[in-house]
Amino acid sequence: MYLADEAWPDLESYFESESLALVPLGSTEQHGPHLPEGTDHIIAEAFARRAAEETGYLCTPTITVGVSPHHRQFHGTMSVTAPVFRDYVESLTRSLAEHGIDRVIYVNAHGGNVEHLREVGRRLRDAEVMYAIEWMWDESITDRIQEVFETPGPHGGPKETSLIQYLAGELVHEDRIEDARDGGLREFDESSGRVHGARTFYDAIDNTDNGVLGDQTDASAAVGEELFEAALDQLCQLCEWLAAQPFEDLMPNEHL
């Protein structure tokens, strides 16, 4: 069920019988010369909407701008400050609690949002308002991604390229994929951008001239479909697991 499509009287039965909601979040930021700036929120919304269709749980509208200051040098990147983002997401989530929702899955597709969503989840849990957790598609199928791609890359690489080729292929600049690989940073790991153990970079452009990491030429719509279905299965299972938990078991333990 997609909340924004429903008239309010038709939502009453859902809130009477269910207490879980999916909240998709992403970003509007550069994803290299070949992918749209909406890459993250397109992916997040696709997962949340499909999971809602598969499970019957509620999906809210998508939060399309996240915490993206590290992409600010590239044209069109939008961002909000971390405190504003956290407060907005917390306020939005609390509004769901007013209707009886007591557990939320943040269906997130932007790495820059992760730590802030975890903080919001902690605030809400500590206040015993609800249990809210963050989920990212690629973290649910890490082994499969490693099997499929030699250099997956954490941003604008073949995994995101494959998903957008599958979900919104008309937005992919196929003629720029080789340029994306050649103008970016193909190899990226925990040692990249570190000096004597210290992380020396703050912005994406410090590491990659065109904003992307990984080898995009490994991407395809067929692989994107495979990865999407595999991660969707994980999300649907998470929905069912979370819905089955007694609320008191999700709340903080008492002090020793």
CATH code where residue 140 lies: 3.40.50.10310
Tell me what percent of the residues of the chain surpass a pLDDT of 70.
100
Confidence of residue 144 (pLDDT cuts 50, 70, 90): very high
Phi-psi region of 100 (alpha: psi -120 to 50; beta: other; left: phi over 0): left
Rounded Cα distance between 182 and 185, Å, is: 8
Average of per-residue pLDDT across 92-96: 98
Range of the domain at 11: 3-194+209-248
Q: What is the mean pLDDT of the chain?
A: 95
Q: What is the pLDDT of residues 20-52, one digit of tens each?
A: 999 999 999 999 999 999 999 999 999 999 999
Rounded Cα distance between 7 and 106, Å, is: 23
pLDDT at 160: 97
Alpha carbon distances (Å) from 234 to 160, 187, 231: 18, 28, 5
> Would you say residue 193 has pLDDT above 90?
no
Please state the domain count of the chain.
Answer: 1
| 181 in any annotated domain | yes
| 77 in any annotated domain | yes
| 203 in any annotated domain | no
| 144 in any annotated domain | yes
Q: What is the pLDDT of residues 167-183, one digit of tens each?
A: 999 999 999 999 999 99
